[in-house]
Amino acid sequence: MLCFQVTGNLNPMNLRVMLLATMTLKSNLCMPATNVNLKIKIIIITMKTNINSSFWILILLSLVFNLSVAAQDQSEVGRIPSKGMAKFSKDGNFQPYKFTRHAVGDNDVLIDILYAGICHSDIHTERDDWWSVKYPLVAGHEIAGRVVQVGKNVTKFKVGDYAGVGCMVNSCGECEYCKRGEEQYCLKGNVGTYASPDYFHNNELTQGGYSNNIVLSENFAIKIPKNADLKKVAPLLCAGITTYSPIHFTHVKKGDIIAVAGFGGLGHMAVQYAVALGAKVTVFDVTDNKRQDALAMGAVKYVNVKNPNELKGLDNTYRVILCTIPSKYDLSMYLKMLKVDGDMVVIGLPAFSNSPSIDVTNLVMAGRRKLYGTQIGGIRETQEMLDYSVAHNIYPKVEIITADKIDEAYQKVLAGEVRYRYVIDMTSFK
């Protein structure tokens, strides 16, 4: 709150001084990431003569300058220096970027990032495929690292523990969905790990895991078991939970005949989880290059959709189809393959400009076959997924890269050449 109280002659000089002071303070105090509500009350006692006015002008401007510097210093107290690989425009390349994160609060943890997975969502966001984003932008919501600092109220972690971070770093905690452990559907909107206004910290935009550290609430950090293969853990925090959740809420079980459309970062995780439950899995993709990999992971059938002969006789076959495809495809074709009352769960996210669609008439004529989407999972389910994955040795197939290879990795993901998830060794970033 900024206010002026003026006594004496209210002349144009006084008004100009007040206006100048107000504008100067406003421009200097409007800075990101201060956790302090600065309340200032400036009282100008007397301004009666031109000579006195000149004297008070100098005093006031000096006060404005010192208050501005003090406010800036206060806003930086406790902030965590960070550095990452960022894009500065949608068409630019990744460059080193220094920034700061909010201070470690009483309920927060500071994690040194060791590994960060590259998700297709990172690419869409960095390329501005979905919504307008602000640059510079550090992506990455598949994070594995080590806790190096904890707030005084933290009980979930201690310094030295391994911890992971997925697609969220906070949520309101008060709505019906947060209270039942589905923070991904927070009615206020969850705070995303990157490119998201953090309404707990003055709406500063979050920056992600292609960086050396991250600060977040302990409630949104995931405990990584000590026996986990750490370099393979990071992708589980997005690709893992995104596929684990729908497999479980559709109650896939032993003997079920299901399908996975798209055999990439998400698809190869879905196959592993479904096979582990005893389901009979068919994989659909657009190339023969992944056929042997899918069969080796336990799929009973592999279909190249570009080969019409392989598509014959598949209508009315599957109880569940998980669609992980990140580009345009024929929704109607897959709906016909469902059993009546079957579920087609869409978890792949194409760019808006390349998104599939379905005519309402085709949807009705498909019969009682359900088509819907889902987002990741809540924190409780994510922890359950990670514990299950480690216990059953279910991990993504990864290629470890250094931080200077992110641009190259993006191009290979878009070309479908990755087998099956790139993971950045963030210790390579100096």
Q: Are 141 and 119 in contact (CB under 8 A)?
A: yes
Q: Locate 190 and state its tokens.
A: 């969850």
Q: Is the pLDDT of residue 242 over 80?
A: yes
Distance CA 91, CA 203 (A): 26
Whether 3 shows a pLDDT value over 60: the answer reads: no
Round the CA-based radius of gyration of the chain to a whole number and report it: 27
Mean per-residue pLDDT, 85-103: 97
Instruction: Locate 403 and state its tokens.
Output: 């931080």
* CA gap 277, 299 in Å, rounded: 12
pLDDT recorded at residue 58 = 54
Query: What is the per-residue pLDDT across 65-82, written as a single tens digit (0 to 9) for each?
Result: 555 544 444 446 799 999
Prediction pTM value: 0.82
Longest dimension (CA), the chain: 96
Q: Are the C-beta atoms of residues 217 and 108 closer than 8 Å to each other?
A: yes
pLDDT in tens, 45-68: 334 444 455 555 555 555 555 555
Closest CA to 354 of 129, 50, 163, 141: 129
Length of the chain, please?
430
Greater confidence (51 vs 176) lies with 176
Q: Is the peptide bond before 136 cis (omega within 30 degrees of 0)?
A: yes
Are 138 and 97 spatial neighbours (Cβ–Cβ below 8 Å)?
A: yes
Reduced 3-state DSSP string for 63-109? HHHHHHHHHHHHHCCCCEEEEEEEECCCCCCCEEEEEEECCCCCCEE
* Percent of the chain scoring above 70 in pLDDT: 82
Selection from 399, 121, 395 nearest residue 240 by Cα: 395
